[in-house]
Chains A and B, each alone.
Chain A
C-alpha cells in the first residue's frame, strides 16, 4: 500500500507537465468552489449583520390609509397599551422630504423622520448630548429636534455646540435639544446620506410638516423575538377588524427577513458550489482520460509486473492510487490557491470574503472521490490486460 503511494508519486513526478495539466482541472475546480462560496458567505454575512443591527425584534407595520378606513395614531397607541406585555417600544414613523438649513449652509440628503419618545429605545441608539424628544413635545407639537452626528459636525462643528441652536426644516425653525452618538465605527468616514445624517422631530410636528395628515408606518419592538408569530397574529386581528382587507396593510418582522436571508445564503452557496462542482466533474473526466493514456503507454510495464508475479488486484491498486494521488495533490493545490485568491479577490472588489471550512472540506473530499471514481475504470482496464499480450506490446 505504502509502496503504491511512492510508486504513484514517482509516476506523477516522471510526467511532471502532464500530471500538472491533469491536476489543473482539479486545482481550478477546487479553487472555484472555495472562492465562490467564500465570496457569497462574506457578502451575505455582511448583509446579515446589517440586518441584525437594525434589530431582529422589530416588527414594521405599513398602512395604506384610504379615505373610508384608516387607523389613527390614537387607535394604534390603544392597541399598543392593551398588549404592552409583548412590546418594549413603539413609534410611528413619518418621513418628511425636505432640506435642512443652518445659516447659509443646507443639506438635502438628510433623512427627516417624525418619531415618538420611544424611538431611541426602539433603535437601540444612545444620546451624545442633550435630551431626546419627550411626550410633552409630542402632545404640544413642539418644534424641537434631535440630530445625528453628521449634521452636528457639519453645521456646528461638534455635538455640544449644536445644543440650543436652531435649524430650519423646509422653512420652519426647530430647536436642537439633543444629538445622537455616532452610528458608524470610528474608522469609517462620516458620509453625507450615511447612517449619521438624520434629524428626528416629534411625529405630531412631522405630520403637520408633511401636510398629508396621515401616519403610514409604525415600528414595534417586541420584548421577545420568540413571540414573533403571536404578535403578528395580534396585529393582524387588530388591523383586519378595521380595514377588512388584507391588502391594505402589511406586517413585516425583521426576524423573518433574517430567516429568509439565511436560507437565501444557503441556497446561493449551494448553487455556486454546485457550479464549481461541475468543473470538478469535468476535471475528473480529465483524470480518467490521462489515466487511460497512461495505462496504454505502460502496457509493457504492466506485462513486466505481471510476469514477475503482480496480481490483478495489485495492478489495480497501483493505478487507482495513482489517480487518487494525482487528484488529491490537485485538490491540495486548489485549496492553497482558493484560500489565497479568496482574500485577494475580496479585497479587489471590496468585500469581506473568507474561505469556509465547509467548502474546503467538501471540495477536497470531492476531488479525492473523483480520483478514485474516475481512476477505477482505467485501473480495471490495466488489471484485465493479458500478461502475454502486455509483454509483447511496444
Chain B
C-alpha cells in the first residue's frame, strides 16, 4: 500500500515538478462575505522515494463552503489520504496554498497547526482512536483540555457532546467496554466537543458492520442538516453516494468534482 510506504519518506522541496510550472497561476482570494471555508490552490505534495519523486498530490485546487457535505473518494494510493492530512492540518503541502476560514495554513509552524487542529477541526478516524485507559468523558474532554478550558467547562461541554450521541449515561465506561458502533459515536462526540468549523471523517465506517455503518452515516447526515461542514474520506463509492458532493481523486489529481447525482452518472 503506497500510502503506508509514505511514512518512511521525507518531504522535499521540488524544483522541477509539473506543480512548479503551474504555481504562478494563483487566483485572487474571495474577499466577499461568502468566502469558502476551505480553499485549496494548486496543492502539491511530493515525496522522495529513493531517487524517484512521487507526486502524491499533483496540483489540487478545491473550494468547500460552509455547510457542505463532501465525500473525497479514491482508491488506495490515489493521494486522498495525503489530501486529508493537508486539509486536516496534520501536514503542510510542498507547494500551493491552503486557506482554512481565510487563514493561510500552508505555511504554519507545528504549534500553529496544532492549534488549528484543536480549534477548527474535529477528526473522526476509522479506528476511532480513543485513549483506552481513559473513560468516555475524559476522551471527549481531551480536545477541550488542550484548548485550555477549565475543568467545569470541559465537563459540561463534554457531557453535552456525549448526550448528543446518546452515550451520556455511559460516561464513566472505558472504550473497551463499548461496541464498535458506540466507540465511533464517542469519537464523533469528541470531534463535536470543541464546536469545530469542519468535521473530517477518515473512513468512518471502515471498521463497522453495515447496520452500524448506516447509523453512523445517518448521524453524520443529521449533523450536516444542523449546519456542520463535513468531509468524508473514503475508498467506497457507496459511502461517497451518501454525501451531497463528491470529489474523486486519481493519481494525485481531481478527476471528478460535482453533485452526487452527477457522480452516479459518472460511475
Contacts and interface: CB of A to CB of B under 8 A. Distances in A.
B80 interface: no
Given A309-B117, A309-B143, A389-B7, A304 B111 contact: no
A309 B90 contact: no
Interface of A is mostly: helix
A303 B115 CA distance: 15
| Candidate in A300, A307, A309 with the most chain B CB atoms within 10 angstroms | A309
Interface string A266-283: 000000000000000000
A387 B90 contact: yes
B190 A308 contact: yes
B85 A388 contact: yes
A18 interface: no
A245 to B, nearest CB: 81
A310 interface: yes
Interface of B is mostly: helix
Interface string B96-126: 0000000000000011001101110001010
Interface string B121-158: 00101000111010000000011011100000000000
Q: Which 3 A-B pairs have the closest CB atoms?
A: A309-B118, A309-B146, A308-B143
B91 interface: yes
A311 B133 contact: no
Contact of A300 (B7, B111, B129, B146): B129
B88 interface: yes
A391 B125 contact: yes
A307 B143 CA distance: 9
A305 interface: yes
A314 B114 CA distance: 11
Contact of B114 (A3, A300, A309): A309
Nearest to B130: A304
For chain A, which range describes its interface: under 10, 10 to 19, 20 to 34, or 35 or more residues? 20 to 34
A109 B94 CA distance: 96
B4 interface: yes
Interface of B: 4, 7, 85, 88, 90-91, 110-111, 114-115, 117-119, 123, 125, 129-131, 133, 142-143, 145-147, 190
Nearest to A309: B118
Contacts of B117: 306-309
Given A388-B85, A392-B7, A310 B146 contact: yes
20 contacts: A11-B133, A14-B133, A303-B129, A304-B130, A304-B131, A305-B142, A306-B90, A307-B88, A307-B117, A308-B117, A309-B114, A309-B119, A309-B147, A310-B114, A311-B110, A311-B115, A387-B90, A388-B85, A391-B125, A392-B7
A308 B118 contact: yes
Contacts of A11: 133
Given A388-B7, A388-B90, A389-B7, A307 B110 contact: no
A314 B146 contact: yes
Given A387-B90, A388-B85, A309 B115 contact: yes
Given A309-B114, A312-B111, A301 B131 contact: yes
A303 B7 CA distance: 13
A381 to B, nearest CB: 15
B201 to A, nearest CB: 13
A308 B110 contact: no
A131 interface: no
Nearest to B146: A309
Contacts of A309: 114-115, 117-119, 143, 146-147
Given A301-B131, A391-B129, A392-B4, A311 B145 contact: no
A123 interface: no
Nearest to B10: A386
Interface in A3-56: 3, 10-11, 14
Interface in A280-327: 300-301, 303-314
A341 B129 CA distance: 47
A303 B114 CA distance: 11
B114 A311 contact: yes
B111 A307 contact: no
A318 to B, nearest CB: 11
Contacts of A306: 90, 114, 117
Interface string A248-274: 000000000000000000000000000
A3 B85 contact: no
B133 A3 contact: no
